[in-house]
Amino acid sequence: MSAEPKTSILVIDDDSEIRYSLERVLGANGYQVESASSGEEGIERAEKSQPPIVFLDNRMQGITGIETLQHLRSASPHSMVILMTAFGTTQTAIEAMKFGAFDYIIKPFDIKKVLSLVTKAIKAHDDLASARQARYSPILNSDDYKEGIVGNSEPMQEVFKIIGQVAASDVTVMITGESGTGKELVARCIYRHSHRANRHFVAVNCAAIPENLIESELFGHEKGSFTGATQQRTGKFELCDGGTLFLDEIGDMALPTQTKILRALQEGEIQRVGGNETIKVDVRLIAATNKDLEKMVEEKQFREDLYYRLNVMRIRMPGLRERREDVPALVDFMLQRLGKERGVGVRRVSDDAMRALTAYNWPGNVRELENVVQRSAVVAKGDTVLTKDLPREIAACAAAAPESPPAAEGAGTSAEPPENQTAGGDTAQIGAGTPATVPPVIGAAPPAPTLEDAFDHLYERLRGDVDEGLLQAIEKEMIVRALAETGGNQVKTSALLGMTRATLRKRIQQLDLRV
């Protein structure tokens, strides 16, 4: 019996260490690997060998990864291309998916994730061996984060992928999510990357317009059609002909207006209020809501047929608490924009303050974060936001937060070597550079600080820098830390602190702590 042929994988990267690491890892797992040190060479090799899988670096000397990807679409149309990038920006994410990449992976990446992605790509290649991956004709024309959508987290990467997939078509998109998550930013991003980008984009907040005026706002009205209609008015649908109309908070729209929206979508025509003329319109509709439309349909508060018409493609915007690792990048982006647009001199946030910002639950999501960043930048002294510059309820989160918040992309590299290693000495992380060598130990380790030393440091650190008094600040800090250690269990916390449960409850109430 002949051996099963090995799956061929092409690695295109101008970094020899990345090529070597992937060759060893993939080769050791039964794959046949060839490599190329430039986009030009990679295109030639792909055209000859037609590899099922291609790992492609985004930033290379010569032609870029995105340019190489576009050439690969014709040179090796059935290859599943996995883009490798150190910068998971909005631009990279959208372009990668837009020009037909199977997926992309952010450096540094670990072996398990690489192998898992290869398995998924092989299955996709086998399932779609005879089909071309879709390519989008419009060319992106925006800088990284120009739309204000910032995030490298898994939930946001999924959002970027869907944007790249739907932008070039005219399908109706429903954007759901809590208030303040950035639903309108996503709608504008879809518009900017669509073939309608040179036509109008109009946003309408359905919740902000009185029920008796919403039809006139959307469809226009004829002169004399109602009291106060002193002249003919063009509605948003007519104004957006050939463009994109964004209906925000569509769950607040009255049922009679929903009926007219449905007709406009199905027939592509409208009538002004008080008019008899039928007007043809070509509008791409994007809707958004923070309400549960499925429940509203069940309760007959929203038309079922309109719901299905709007919900062709859905994008769910995650709450900020679901992507805490994006907080440092968001804060950095907001501070840069404040400096550019308003001349605010604050450039950074202290480690303690960033830990607090990352640990906070953010019920108001990105909008609340932006408000806090603006407020803190105004009250900060110098060019750095400190914990004391944050609102009290957010500053209190610093004690219960991890020592190091998730680092923003490009904010610097860790000096620590990867902890996990595979057999044979391969590091379990690829793309992070050469692992750091552990320095030799010279002399004995310094003695641990005594309790007296710790209190001396604490006294000097807090003296004159707390509002409620030194003793109360220390007590508050100890209670917060103990609660965090016990997972909020007040019985265990009171035992740990050596006080009764009643006393602990009283202290929590006095100090206005959240459990």
| CATH number for position 349 | 1.10.8.60
Predicted pLDDT at 175: 97
Q: By CB neighbour count within 10 A (0-12 exposed, 13-18 middle, 19+ buried), where does 181 fall?
A: buried
Question: Stretch 269-275: mean pLDDT, rounded?
Answer: 90
Q: Which two tokens stand for residue 112?
A: 């398990």
pLDDT higher for 302 or 498? 302
- pLDDT-derived band at 90 (thresholds 50, 70, 90) equals low
**Residue 190 above 70 pLDDT?**
yes
Considering the domain architecture, whether residues 311 and 324 belong to the same structural domain is answered as: no
**Residue 103 above 60 pLDDT?**
yes
Question: Stretch 197-208: mean pLDDT, rounded?
Answer: 93
User: Is 487 domain-assigned?
Assistant: yes
**Residue 447 above 70 pLDDT?**
no
Predicted pLDDT at 442: 34
Q: 111 to each of 107, 161, 334, how far by Cα in Å?
A: 11, 23, 34
Considering the domain architecture, whether residues 309 and 174 belong to the same structural domain is answered as: yes
Q: Is the dihedral of CA 158, 159, 162, 167 positive or negative?
A: negative
Predicted pLDDT at 362: 95
Considering the domain architecture, whether residues 213 and 352 belong to the same structural domain is answered as: no
pLDDT higher for 344 or 155? 155
Question: Stretch 365-386: mean pLDDT, rounded?
Answer: 88
The answer to whether 109 and 430 are in contact (CB under 8 A) is yes
Predicted pLDDT at 434: 39
pLDDT above 70 as % of the chain: 79
Measured between its terminal Cα atoms, the distance across the chain in Å is 65
Say which residues have a Cβ less than 8 Å from residue 50's Cβ, sequence separation at least 6: 76, 78, 79
Predicted pLDDT at 426: 43
Q: Which of 240-244, 363-367, 475-479 is predicted with the least confidence, judged by mean pLDDT?
A: 475-479
Choose from 74-88, 262-276, 292-306 the range with maximum mean pLDDT. Answer: 292-306
Q: Which two tokens stand for residue 3?
A: 């051996």
User: Is 133 domain-assigned?
Assistant: no
**Residue 453 above 70 pLDDT?**
no
Considering the domain architecture, whether residues 102 and 206 belong to the same structural domain is answered as: no
Considering the domain architecture, whether residues 341 and 477 belong to the same structural domain is answered as: no
Considering the domain architecture, whether residues 18 and 74 belong to the same structural domain is answered as: yes
Predicted pLDDT at 432: 56
What range defines the domain where residue 286 resides?
169-316
**Among 257, 292, 316, residue at a domain's last position:** 316
Q: Which two tokens stand for residue 421?
A: 């290693």
**Beta strand 8-12 pairing with 32-36:** parallel
pLDDT higher for 84 or 138? 84
**Among 382, 398, 414, residue at a domain's last position:** 398
Give start and end residues of each alpha helix (H) in 279-364: 293-298, 304-310, 327-342, 351-359
Amino acid at 89: T
Q: At 339, is the secondary structure helix, strand, or coil?
A: helix
Considering the domain architecture, whether residues 311 and 381 belong to the same structural domain is answered as: no
- How many independent structural domains does the chain possess? 4
Is pTM beyond 0.75 here?
A: no
Considering the domain architecture, whether residues 83 and 97 belong to the same structural domain is answered as: yes
Predicted pLDDT at 152: 83
**Residue 480 above 50 pLDDT?**
yes
Question: Stretch 468-495: mean pLDDT, rounded?
Answer: 78
Give start and end residues of each alpha helix (H) in 311-414: 327-342, 351-359, 365-379, 392-395
Predicted pLDDT at 129: 53
**Among 282, 316, 350, residue at a domain's last position:** 316
Considering the domain architecture, whether residues 15 and 75 belong to the same structural domain is answered as: yes
Considering the domain architecture, whether residues 308 and 346 belong to the same structural domain is answered as: no
Q: Which two tokens stand for residue 5?
A: 């042929």
Predicted pLDDT at 333: 87
User: Is 143 domain-assigned?
Assistant: no
User: Is 377 domain-assigned?
Assistant: yes
Considering the domain architecture, whether residues 180 and 242 belong to the same structural domain is answered as: yes
User: Is 91 domain-assigned?
Assistant: yes
Predicted pLDDT at 455: 60
User: Is 223 domain-assigned?
Assistant: yes
Question: Stretch 403-429: mean pLDDT, rounded?
Answer: 41
Complete edge-to-edge strand list for the sheet that includes strand 53-57:
32-36, 8-12, 53-57, 80-85, 103-106
Q: Residue 101's domain is classified under what CATH number?
A: 3.40.50.2300
Predicted pLDDT at 463: 55
Q: Which two tokens stand for residue 515?
A: 């459990």
Predicted pLDDT at 418: 37
Closest to 460 in 3D by CA, of 399, 76, 452: 452
How many CB atoms are located within 10 Å of the residue 47 CB?
Answer: 13
User: Is 499 domain-assigned?
Assistant: yes
Predicted pLDDT at 51: 93
Dist CA 398 CA 354 (whole Å):
8
User: Is 277 domain-assigned?
Assistant: yes
pLDDT higher for 144 or 35? 35
Mean pLDDT estimate for the chain: 80
Considering the domain architecture, whether residues 275 and 308 belong to the same structural domain is answered as: yes
Predicted pLDDT at 452: 57
204 forms bridges with which residues in the sheet? 247
How many CB atoms are located within 10 Å of the residue 515 CB?
Answer: 12
**Residue 373 above 80 pLDDT?**
yes
Q: Residue 457's domain is classified under what CATH number?
A: 1.10.10.60
